[in-house]
Structure 1
């Protein structure tokens, strides 16, 4: 269906076209594939038709002042805390129902199982990382606890920094020593393992693959962001790292809190306006998990 618009020649840098893939208007509105929009060849920006109307009519060569849509930053550790609360409440209900008279005493003298307490510990680690990222100010924009389309899984943190986008999974292993073990047989290839407190935790690296793929797919929705670099990182909270050198296994950086903050702050070509556009784009495609405490930017 065609839309009756003023002559686009009034602004020679603008062209009305049908989007081949989803995109985002500079005002923050999501644009679906097949929808008509205005493409500004000079600035490589996409505008929804309501925003572009004054420009197409020749009223102005620059877009009218628009209040950008807020970015929902999400809550660090939100999903993990909710899962802990669900398990804790379920156990309490089960014990009180089974022992109407002694349930309160049993609960006072016992603790949640480790499988439940692990969720609370994980939430604490994610909150610590969220606080560290917030201390970096305007250098980065951190999105927390993001939903992934067609999946029940979540991404702990997506950080937009000057040098690119960082997909970060936070893990809390108190006082655990982080190390790399390399071994091989006489004819076998070298095997590299991530050791945490003496245990092989290499599988944690494998879980970063689908997270990076999800963020890459979200960025690829826009030709402007398709080539933005993505770095995967595991951030171990309250752990002990070697004094020298950095750890990188299978293209995943392994850092502590300080190292992660330094990594995402690396200088690069993405200035503050571009970082905001990237954050708005990713927040629309990988929305925050529902939470009453979610912050807006």
Structure 2
């Protein structure tokens, strides 16, 4: 994929679309928005490609980082056992909102809000979560997602369905829990499976099956479920863009190293002529 030239919007799947949410790929909704942003980004110039200019538009960077975070967490969740069901990018409400991941298993129901804070310090105490010293609304948003999910699932099931909200931090420089977070749990992506394994078992196989059947229906979550974009297309489009981004980064690093290595020789040559 070359800048915005490779994607002119995201075409819809021409064949049958799955009636449930199990076919959605991790980061599905974020990637759709990313590709929409990229569609208006002009292709890089020849020199831009040579020197490793990023194919991402300025408005695409945060969407790209979010997609990488959800995909990485999705890969971690693939290692959960068969007793777990994982739904990705669940459209919820009446608009374009979605829940990054919904988990249903022996330990209960969880909504995961993934945040890519690679290399940044995260600090948590009570209702406060800070990233690099700045307050964020991650705990509030995760608690709101869990509460909304509990209401929707309870309505569908005809009885109370507790849901735990989780903020999943991807590759932070550090995570300091000064006091237990309120409203939602906070865990790094690397500890996510261990954290889930430590939760007590509260649901039997039959209950998990019934909840999975209800949660897999788009109508459980959204008033007017949007048509699903072909997950295979989503993966291919993002893979092509990610390859272009990585190649550009490699070229920038190569040029930087070349300059660093050549600098002493260039300097000595100039000094000999003065």
Report the equivalent of 1:198. 133
Match of 2:148 in 1: 214
Cα distance, 1:72 vs. partner? 2.1
More strand by share: 1
| Deviation of the 1:156 alpha carbon | 0.5
**What secondary structure does 1:214 align onto?**
helix
**2:190 alignment counterpart:** 258
Secondary structure at 1:82 match in 2: helix
Contact preservation (8 Å) 1:233, 1:253: yes
Equivalent residue of 1:91, what SS?
Answer: coil
1:228 Cα offset (Å): 2.8
1:18 aligned residue: none
| Residue 85 (structure 1) aligns with | 35
Deviation at 1:274, TM superposition (A): 2.2
1:73–1:283 Cα contact (<8 Å) kept? no
C-alpha separation between the residues in 2 aligned to 1:71 and 1:79? 12
Aligned-residue offset at 1:242? 4.2
Structure 1 position 115, deviation (Å): 3.2
| Superposition RMSD in Å | 2.8
Q: Please tell me whether the aligned partners of residues 246 and 254 of structure 1 are also in contact (alpha carbons under 8 angstroms).
A: no
Deviation of the 1:75 alpha carbon: 1.1
Q: Which structure is richer in relative contact order (CA contacts within 8 A, separation 6 or more)?
A: 2
Q: Distance in 1 between matches of 2:193 and 2:179?
A: 15
Contact in 2 for aligned 1:147/1:154 (Cα 8 Å): yes
Count of paired positions: 205
Give the drift of 1:261.
1.8
The structure with the larger Rg is 1
Establish whether residue 291 from structure 1 lines up as the match of residue 229 from structure 2.
yes
**Runs of 5+ in structure 2 lacking a partner?**
1-18, 233-274
Q: Following the alignment from structure 2 to structure 1, what is the Cα–Cα distance between the partners of residues 112 and 194? A: 13
TM-score w.r.t. the length of structure 2 is: 0.65
SS for the counterpart of 1:136 is: coil
**1:12-41 CA-partner distances (Å, limit 9, x unpaired):** xxxxxxxxxxxxxxxxxxxxxxxxxxxxxx
Whether 1:137 aligns to 2:81 is: yes
Per-residue Cα deviation, 1:36-55 (whole angstroms, up to 9, x for no partner): xxxxxxxxxxxxxxxxxxxx
| Structure 1 residue 117, shift from structure 2 partner | 1.4
| Unpaired runs of at least 5, structure 1 | 1-68, 97-102, 183-191
Question: Which aligned pairs between 1:157-172 and structure 2 lie closer than 5 A?
Answer: 157-172=101-116
